[in-house]
Structure 1
């Protein structure tokens, strides 16, 4: 009579083993497998439970007198060590399940040689059990019952953390080393790539939200020179004016802060705050208003506006005088100018609508003030600022760009073409350009 191991039919092999004492082995193996699967359920669910606790739940655990909640707080006090412990346990359990299924396969087939279809079938069943009952179900359950799950597993994990501490320490040390290397290397993501990512965001994002996000992305690349009000646009007060004339100037300008100069804008003596004058409005014209001046804050043209914003916050100032490399006044920048680079134009009750710097004639034609910054020019026309880098030189305004392109001061009516841009001088005198019409060729827009 053929032995069971020589029976070519696996089903008869299983029956023979069961009746020859194998039944107890299989029963214990199945029971042990279910235990391992249950442990996988608890460990996998714990990973989600612990790391999805809200700030309020964590505060509750820290202040609680419950031993379980205090253990939860203690475990999360070292999150890397806790995560390493969870991963170690999970891998040991999964390895044990795979090992057990392999041994069962050997007993069923009667040898360590593969039996083809049977081995594939058992591997598929084991993989499904681990994935479904050891990953999907526990993590979904733990996500909706995170605090209760975490408290239930706090005692086992406190014990497991102590048991696997040497191995967990080795893993966390290795991961910290890799993190430092990655941080040192950094990530190379260009501003253009970030802007493109914003352009292809979902339709649920409005154009206004996209513009704000683009403003944030480009914020760190802008210099003070690109954002400031130029010297020609500065409203300032001569220090020689008497008190009544000063009050009148502030009333006419509608500015709450005005620079004060002595002789020329290159000699700024300080900043006069309108609110500082309020207690003295009944004084005569000989009142010494100079003692109310606050110190001026001077910055170079090359300073980044993100750095300047931090300095404004630290020094609690709202205005800075921009100086060139020779120490002369080249412009002025305010906190409002910086914020507008993110959120767009901010108009108050004193702003005149015509002072927006440009008028749109049609989809392809605009009329710009020559003093409009190239940064604002590119925003309005949807041009990439990098397209102008090669020709703009040191200029930061539309008028400066035209001078760089033309080489000389153009007369009214002159046309200058660059790429798909056609500049027509609308208003100009012998000293400067005032208004420019810009046409973007439709076929190239």
Structure 2
């Protein structure tokens, strides 16, 4: 982890969701609903000119308005080079109390973005890689049906279920990293016990839950997987 460059874990330029500074307030709200991120880079002209970061929580007092000068809420962007070591960046994030940095290349162009969650995932991933599937909490019922603990990471789910095309999940997961988080994301509300949530050709059934957590989720894979 200590020797990992920021470039290795960043979200690359082509995958960045960002807002243009001249967008109307209604357009901004629509885009936020569609993509689901909580911190969003803002640019002028093109993505190489990032001028700030919009925190969605700063917008909350104003979302009922039809018009609002949302650009007044953007925060100062934090830029880091591609070769910044992750352990150094983690320290800077903690010291400055920030959650997102814009990664720039040697010419000052935008190469990608990196979040605190990306760094933590890298750390946790390093730890998780030391364990095998015996440490994962899941039951394989048959070739197509599994019951997973809700806090199982999506990456572990892909591995266990031998899912080769992760993109369909990655594009819909928002900021969720666990199966429970993904189900909440696609359901759009907190589901009930026994509720069926369908996503593409996958079926998710909530087997057990408490007031705030999805504890066990049964997943049925598509037959053609």
TM-score, with length taken from structure 1 = 0.30
Partners in 2 of 1:327 and 1:267 — Cα distance? Answer: 9
Q: Structure 1: how far apart are the matches of 2:59 and 2:33?
A: 11
Q: 2 CA distance for matches of 1:266 and 1:343? A: 31
Higher percent of residues as helix: 1
Aligned to 2:90: 309
The secondary structure found in structure 2 opposite 1:266 is coil
Deviations 1:362-409 (A, max 9, x none): 99x96677xx9xxxxxxxxxxxxxxxxxxxxxxxxxxxxxxxxxxxxx
- Structure with bigger RCO (C-alpha 8 Å, 6+ apart): 2
What TM-score does the superposition give when structure 2 sets the normalisation length? 0.57
In the other structure, the counterpart of 1:20 is none
Residue by residue over 1:285-328, the C-alpha shift from the partner in whole angstroms, topping out at 9 and shown as x without a partner, is 3x211110000000000000000000001100000000000000
Task: Quote the residue 2:8 is aligned against.
Answer: 226
Of residues 270, 284, 287, the one that matches 2:66 is 284
With over 3 angstroms needed to count, the CA separation of the structure-2 counterparts of 1:340 and 1:361, relative to structure 1, is closer
Write the mapping of 1:299-338 to structure 2, written as runs, cut at 5 A.
Answer: 299-338=80-119
For residues 351-430 of structure 1, what are the structure 2 equivalents within 5 Å? none
- Of the two, which has the highest radius of gyration? 1
Work out the CA distance in 2 between the residues paired with 1:366 and 1:342: 24
Could you tell me how far apart the structure 1 residues matched to 2:33 and 2:113 are? Answer: 20
Cα offsets for 1:130-170 (capped at 9, x unmatched): xxxxxxxxxxxxxxxxxxxxxxxxxxxxxxxxxxxxxxxxx
C-alpha deviation, 1:230, in angstroms = 0.5
Looking at structure 2, the residues matched to 367 and 276 of structure 1 have their Cα atoms a distance apart, in angstroms, of 35
1:281–1:361 distance in 2 versus 1, CA, 3 Å: closer
Cα offset, 1:254, TM superposition: 1.0
Tell me the secondary structure at the aligned position of residue 101 of structure 2. strand
* Between structures 1 and 2, the one with greater strand share: 2
> Shift in Å at residue 284 of structure 1?
2.3
* 8 Å Cα contact 1:229/1:333 also seen in 2: yes
**What is the deviation of 1:359?**
5.4
Aligned mates of 1:281, 1:359 — CA distance in 2: 36
Alignment root-mean-square deviation, CA? 3.0
Determine whether 1:340 maps to 2:130.
Answer: no
Give 3-state SS (helix, strand or coil) of 1:306's partner: helix
- Pairing 1:266–2:48 present: yes
Q: Partners of 1:233 and 1:315 in 2: how far apart?
A: 26
Partners of 1:360 and 1:254 in 2: CA distance = 25
Determine the structure 1 residue equivalent to 2:30: 248
Change (3 A) 1:366 1:295: same
1: distance between equivalents of 2:165 and 2:59?
Answer: 40
Q: What pairs up with 1:156-305 in 2 under 5 angstroms? A: 219-285=1-67, 287-305=68-86
- Distance in 1 between the 2:52 and 2:164 partners? 38
Deviations 1:223-264 (Å, cap 9, x if unpaired)?
101111111111111112111111111111111111111121
Tell me: CA distance 1:224–1:290, structure 2 relative to 1, closer, same or farther (3 Å): same
Q: Which stretches in structure 1 are left out of the alignment for 5+ residues?
A: 1-218, 373-445
Change (3 A) 1:226 1:316: same
